[in-house]
Amino acid sequence: MKRPTQKDVAQKAGVSRSTVSYVLNDQTELKIPISDETRQRVMDAIAELGYEPDARAQSLRSGDTNIVGVIIPVIQNPFFWQILSGISAGLQENGYSLYLSHHPLDLQQEANTIRALTRQPVDGFILLAAIKYLLPRLSDHLRKSGRPIVEITAAKAEFDQVVHSYSSGTRALLAHLLELGHRRIGFVYGITNEVQGFDRLLIYREVLGQKGLQTYEVHCTESLEGAYQAAYSILQGKNRPTALIVINDMLAIAVMRAASDLGLTVPHDLSVASFDDIPFSNYMVPRLTTVSGKSEDSGREAVRLLLRRFEEPALPQQLSTPDVQLIIRESTGPVPKG
């Protein structure tokens, strides 16, 4: 069946096509004298024919798409999907749609992402990473787009920023472990870009350094297998850590498996804690002690900053720092005796 057009609506209502356009776009500022009766005839014809305006044509006329592009760095970690859930809810509540693009991992993917963003115009961008950590051509494309950008990152940002930092939460977590008597505290640092977790690693080094304690860092990839092998290795040593901090909850699952395979019980023999508070963390055995970044709130806050930028383009840089919270569960306990 042929899709009805504005011409069909005009014929049905007995008006000109331009009148239909004025009614659809509510262009009262043009001072076109359209009576209430004429406006109602047009609306009745639209309802009867089932006419739906062409969103692409409307965006070409107005310059707005009511679409926000979101670039996500890691699709495997539920933490990012929680942020995305907050973004999606915030956008929908304000009449916007979401266009999702995966962070490019190689030059070919970078080219594909740029091509896709060029074909899908958007009103602005939300980046679940600092723009400077994206590959160069994509970073340049975003900067030159002239569209508002909000970055959700712990690093210093160029544009409006939701400061997603775990610095205070790391201090709280270390204070918790030290209070439990732990002095050999390790850190499983599984990250793609070395600086992405500095909000946690640098605080770890600082706090243990101030206490005169040795650090037990083990760096690995962001994969589950990488974290498993790293934990397996560090836990085999004679003076192994009695507690392990893990860069995120996903990798903590692999760390706890490595401990189990070595015959260690959590938390009796080894305390394990991490970051993000993904849904799995409260259903593991034992339940995982973690620092919550309140990820959905961060997503909603990014939307709020972006919408405000739409309304007031000349604003100075906006910064928002959502709270974080240490959630103590069953995976941390007193230092083992002996």
The helix/strand/coil state of 248 is coil
Burial class (CB in 10 A: 0-12, 13-18, 19+), 215: middle
The helix/strand/coil state of 17 is helix
200, 227 Cβ separation under 8 angstroms: no
Identify the architecture of domain 6-53 in CATH.
Answer: Orthogonal Bundle (1.10)
Domain 167-292 has CATH 3.40.50.300: no
- Bridge partners of residue 69, in order along the sequence: 99, 125
**How many other CB atoms are found less than 10 A from the CB of residue 310?**
16
Give ∠ CA 196-112-305 in degrees, rounded to 5.
50
pLDDT at 208: 98
Q: Which residue has the tokens 């055995």?
A: 285
Question: Which two tokens mark 321?
Answer: 């720092």
Distance CA 1, CA 77 (A): 44
65, 119 Cβ separation under 8 angstroms: no
Chain segment 253-296, per-residue pLDDT in tens: 999 999 999 999 999 999 999 999 999 999 999 999 999 999 99
- Bridge partners of residue 163, in order along the sequence: 153
Q: How far is residue 55 CA from its own chain's centroid?
A: 27
Average pLDDT of the residues in 20-36: 66
E strands along the chain, which residues?
67-72, 97-102, 124-127, 149-153, 160-163, 185-190, 216-220, 243-246, 271-276, 289-292, 319-320, 325-327
Chain segment 175-202, per-residue pLDDT in tens: 999 999 999 999 999 987 777 789 999 9
Q: What is the DSSP string of 29-97?
A: GGT----HHHHHHHHHHHHHHT----HHHHHHHHS--SEEEEEES-SS-HHHHHHHHHHHHHHHHTT-E
Choice between 3 and 169, residue whose per-residue pLDDT is larger: 169
Q: How confident is the model at residue 29 (pLDDT cuts 50, 70, 90)?
A: very low
Question: Which two tokens mark 46?
Answer: 């639209």
237, 189 Cβ separation under 8 angstroms: no
The letter for the amino acid at 113 is: T
Distance CA 14, CA 20 (A): 10
Chain segment 323-334, per-residue pLDDT in tens: 899 999 999 999
54, 84 Cβ separation under 8 angstroms: no
Domain map (residue ranges) of the chain? 6-53, 67-165+296-323, 167-292
Phi, psi of 186 (to 5 degrees): -100, 170
Same-fold call for 67-165+296-323 versus 167-292 = yes
CA dihedral 309, 310, 315, 319 (to 10 degrees): 0
Under CATH, domain 67-165+296-323 is a member of which superfamily? Response regulator (3.40.50.2300)
110, 104 Cβ separation under 8 angstroms: yes
Q: Within 262-326, where are the H helices? A: 295-311
Say which range, 47-51, 81-85, 304-308, has the weakest mean pLDDT. 47-51
pTM for the predicted model, two decimal places:
0.77
4, 42 Cβ separation under 8 angstroms: no
Question: Which two tokens mark 283?
Answer: 């259903």
Distance CA 243, CA 177 (A): 8
Q: Which residue has the tokens 């993917």?
A: 109
Q: How confident is the model at residue 105 (pLDDT cuts 50, 70, 90)?
A: low
Q: How confident is the model at residue 2 (pLDDT cuts 50, 70, 90)?
A: low
User: Residue 267: is the preceding peptide bond cis (ω within 30°)?
Assistant: yes
